[in-house]
Structure 1
Amino acid sequence: MSTTPFLALLVAGALVGGPPPATSGSRWSWPVGDGDRPALAAPFDAPEEQWGPGHRGIDLAASVGERVTAVDTGVVTHRGRIAGRGTVTVTHASGVRSTYEPVDSTLRVGDRVERGRGIGRVGDEAGHCAPATCLHLGAKRGATYLDPLTFFGVRRVILLPVPSV
């Protein structure tokens, strides 16, 4: 019997709140990148407490003025400025809210948006990725932040040591 430790692959779904299904029964569509998966500039890092440090979404590489589309069908429940940046929040049928920033948008609260339809353009405000430009995409159900990548069918692979027997 070998004494060499082996590695096991653990494929994790949502790190907080269980695996979240997209509201249409399919995966979310990428909000930038013309349907192709954009480069991930920064991953989700769940805060230990609601008010604690962490990264409550993902940052996707984008260009100023690039079209931003709704990841899934829903209703605009917020459009405004937070910390000097334009933001849009869409609430989906599942109750999950997707939030985009920085986004310049003319949508109004109550507007219905369809999956893949334009909701605005990437704003020129400095954000998470300065000096580069990115789109921050958050996902939240109730008070729980969720890893948006899981809505796209992306799973985080974690290597774990397996004790030899």
Structure 2
Amino acid sequence: MHFTTVILALGLLWPVGPPPPEILRGWHPPPGPYAPGHRGVDLAAPPGTPVLAPTAGTVTFAGPVGGHGVLTLTLPGTGTPPLRTTFTPVTPLVKKGTQVAPGTPLARVTPGTHCRETCLHWGLLRGDHYLNPLLLTNRPPSRLLPLVD
């Protein structure tokens, strides 16, 4: 199954909102596995904001990493290896192994040092390969417009 077909079949929700949150920092993939880059997107979200399951899945990690709370949701039916979406900095509300439906509260956003203002860092992976999590949204495609003087 093609990646785009898998994504369209998921019917994903934004992890914070509605309405869709402001994107504070976009995805900028690194040129190599250890090079600098931004391996996700930062969504505006004040402390305490509920983080919702964007689709059905299984919580495969919920705990601290590097002093910040992290939650990983593995998405069934998305190929081998399956897609995993990550959220940080958060306080998890569910435990590893929990199966969730779309819209289920997974965590709450906590203050962190990732953004100037509090945000939710949202990531997407297939195996060890980072992908743009905005592929999971139903955002309209970007288009270039002519310059107007």
CA distance in 2 between counterparts of 1:157 and 1:56 reads: 20
Question: Hey, which of these two has a bigger chunk of helix by percent?
Answer: 2
Letter in 2 for 1:28: L
Q: Which of 11, 32, 39 is the equivalent residue of 1:27?
A: 11
The runs of 4+ residues in structure 1 deviating greater than 6 Å are none
Greater RCO, CA 8 A, separation 6+:
1
Q: Secondary structure at the match of 1:41?
A: strand
Q: Which residue of 1 aligns with 2:137?
A: 152
The number of equivalent residue pairs is: 139
Is 1:134 the counterpart of 2:134? The answer is no
The alignment's TM-score, normalised by the length of structure 2, stands at 0.84
Contact persistence 2:93–2:108 (CA under 8 A): no
Q: 2:64 aligns with which of 81, 98, 101?
A: 81
The match for 1:105 among 76, 85, 92 is: 92
List gaps (5 residues or longer) in structure 1: 1-16, 160-165
Question: Whose strand proportion is higher, 1 or 2?
Answer: 1
TM-score in terms of structure 1 length: 0.77
Please tell me whether the aligned partners of residues 56 and 145 of structure 1 are also in contact (alpha carbons under 8 angstroms). Answer: yes
1:120 is displaced (CA, Å) by 1.3
- Quick one: distance in 2 between partners of 1:53 and 1:157? 25
Residue 26 (structure 1) shift: 4.0
Structure 2 stretches lacking a partner, 5+ long: 145-149
Which of these residues, 54, 77, 84, is aligned with residue 71 of structure 1? 54
Query: Which one has a bigger Cα radius of gyration?
Result: 1
Q: Over aligned residue pairs, what C-alpha RMSD do you find?
A: 2.0
